[in-house]
Amino acid sequence: MKLRSIAITIFLILTMVPVFSEVYGHSMFNSAEETFGGYRVQVATLPEFPQLGETSQILFRVTDADFEEVDRFTLGARIFFNGQQIDAIPPESYEGAHIEMDHVWQNSGNHVVRVDLYDMEGTSKVLTYTFNMGTQSPFGYIFFISIIIGALTLGVVVTYIYFPEKLKFKSRS
């Protein structure tokens, strides 16, 4: 029993030590990027899964084909749900490559966001980038609840295996 406890302790300590010295942040779940016409547009939402009826942010980032941030550009966006345009962000000139816009999502499900870049250097037309963005649905809650139930089940099983003498029930004889 003592050897098994030592082995488990060593295993836990070794799994907590970082194996790699470099860390890379993941992109947000509800994000995408597209390169077209010599420019790359990235779109994300904050929070990652927007809640219906609550203000969230749509984050935009514009770079050139070499991933250098574009200092000045004109951007507009249109938001569609079930093929119908439900909102629009009028074209406006921006300084700097990062834009944050507040938006309230009213419908659950997939939305199509079309981002338009106007008057970009080296192009003679409007560049349109298309992205799919999702809002929080019951699936998100089911996923989180299933993770919690799994963790609780693991805790019960581990407790039953390692502490059986504390869980002994008096039998009726």
* Per-position pLDDT tens, the chain of length 173: 677 788 888 876 777 665 544 444 445 556 788 888 889 999 988 887 788 888 989 999 999 888 888 989 999 999 999 999 999 999 999 998 888 999 998 888 889 999 999 988 888 889 999 998 888 655 566 777 888 999 999 988 888 887 777 666 555 55
Question: Domain total for the chain?
Answer: 2
Going by their DSSP bridges, the two strands 72-81 and 127-134 should be labelled as unpaired
- Give a yes or no: residue 145 inside a domain: yes
pLDDT at residue 121, as a whole number: 86
| Sheet-wide strand order for 127-134 | 84-95, 72-81, 110-118, 127-134
With contact defined as beta carbons under 8 Å apart, do 53 and 104 qualify?
yes
Q: Are 63 and 148 found together in one domain? A: no
- Give a yes or no: residue 18 inside a domain: no
**For residue 70, is it left (φ>0), alpha (ψ between -120 and 50) or beta?**
beta
Q: Are 117 and 155 found together in one domain? A: no
Q: Are 130 and 153 found together in one domain? A: no
pLDDT at residue 102, as a whole number: 92
How far is Cα 144 from Cα 140, in angstroms, rounded to an integer? 6
With contact defined as beta carbons under 8 Å apart, do 76 and 93 qualify?
no
- Give a yes or no: residue 114 inside a domain: yes
- Give a yes or no: residue 24 inside a domain: no
Where are the extended beta strands (E) located within the chain?
A: 31-36, 39-46, 55-64, 72-81, 84-95, 98-104, 110-118, 127-134
